[in-house]
Amino acid sequence: MSAPLFLLPDGALATAAPGSALHLDGPEGRHAADVTRLRVGEPVLLADGSGRLARCEVTRVDRGSLDAVTVSLAEEPVPDPSFTLVQALAKGDRDLLAVEVGTELGLDTVVPWQADRSISRWRGERVAKGLRRWEQTLLAATKQARRARVPELTDLADRRGVVERIAGADLALVLHEEATEPLATVDLPESGEVVLVVGPEGGITPEETDAFVEAGARAVRLGSTVLRTSTAGSAAIAVLSGQARWR
């Protein structure tokens, strides 16, 4: 089993080198020391979300914190092309499941989208609360996948925001059950941003589809079955990762 990964504050590894002493406290320190129960001499991975990854050995464990010495450092390359998931808000935490599994499978940016048919609605204080939950899900999935880069989470987008994202992408794809072009046959750009749009439980409206296609997106399908909003994006990210990264 690979060593567990825990996240340090942003930039904590900027000056780290083999032999550097690192300290982990706060929620991550409590998880490592009190929940995972790491012991002196055990290996642990520490990252600061920037792409730097420190392979370490635990040197001291206290209640709620630990110290480790850096054994080696690695730099996770910036993904290119990058994968952006525009995920419609969904009920029953199905959108969180999409974000969680998508992160494990390789997404790089997440755009929460208030679609016309989204049953879940973020208004007022629910916007900040919803973003916090998505951010916590991203962090947990990053650690589960042993990723050194935490995916970016954008502000909540409406239709206009999604259109602008599509217009600036190198390739934009809208998952649609009535599309005729299979996702598996799409040629990915060698670099740049690939945007993938996934609708809510009730699907993407014709008006939304028209706006996205007019902005430059292509409607594609995964296969002959219709997936839930919680699984469609993850399945699509797996297809893209298999084509561009899992080689």
In angstroms, the CA 193 to CA 79 distance is 10
Rounded Cα distance, 6 and 136, in Å: 13
Shared-domain flag, residues 66 and 92:
no
Q: Where does a domain end: 75, 98, 133?
A: 75
CATH code: domain of residue 94 = 3.40.1280.10
Q: What is the tally of structural domains in the chain? A: 2
Instruction: Pick the closest to residue 236 from 186, 162, 163, 166 (CA basis).
Output: 186
What is the model's pLDDT at position 178? Answer: 86
Q: What is the CATH number of the domain that holds 70?
A: 2.40.240.20
Q: In the prediction, which pLDDT does 114 show?
A: 94
pLDDT of residue 165: 97
Q: Are residues 104 and 136 in the same domain?
A: yes
Shared domain for 67 and 109, answered yes or no, is no
Q: What is the pLDDT of residue 1?
A: 62
**Please, are residues 44 and 69 in contact by the beta-carbon 8 Å criterion?**
no
Asked which of 40, 55, 75 is the last residue of a domain, the reply is 75
Q: What's the rounded Cα separation, in Å, for the pair 186 and 32?
A: 42
Q: Are 161 and 153 in contact (CB under 8 A)?
A: no
97 and 57 in a single domain? The answer is no
Is there a single domain that holds both residue 231 and residue 113? yes
Per-residue confidence in pLDDT tens, the chain, 247 aa: 689 999 999 989 999 999 999 999 999 999 999 999 999 999 999 999 889 999 999 999 999 999 999 999 999 989 999 999 999 999 888 999 999 999 999 999 999 999 998 888 998 889 999 999 999 999 999 999 999 999 999 999 999 999 999 999 999 999 998 888 999 899 999 999 999 999 998 889 999 999 999 999 999 998 888 888 889 989 999 999 988 888 7
Q: Domain of 236?
A: 82-244
Rounded Cα gap, residues 181 and 13, in angstroms: 44
Whether 233 and 154 map to the same domain: the answer is yes
Q: Which of 120, 145, 146, 115 is nearest to 133 (CA)?
A: 120
pLDDT value, residue 225? 81
Q: How far is the C-alpha of 173 from the C-alpha of 171, rounded, in Å? A: 7
pLDDT of 23 reads: 94
The answer, as to whether pTM is greater than 0.85, is yes
Residues 205-232: tens digit of each pLDDT: 999 999 999 999 999 998 888 888 889 9
| String of DSSP letters for 72-115 | EEEEPPPPSSEEEEEEE--STTHHHHHHHHHHHHT--EEEEE--
Alpha-carbon distance 91 to 184, whole Å? 28
Q: Which pLDDT belongs to residue 196? A: 96
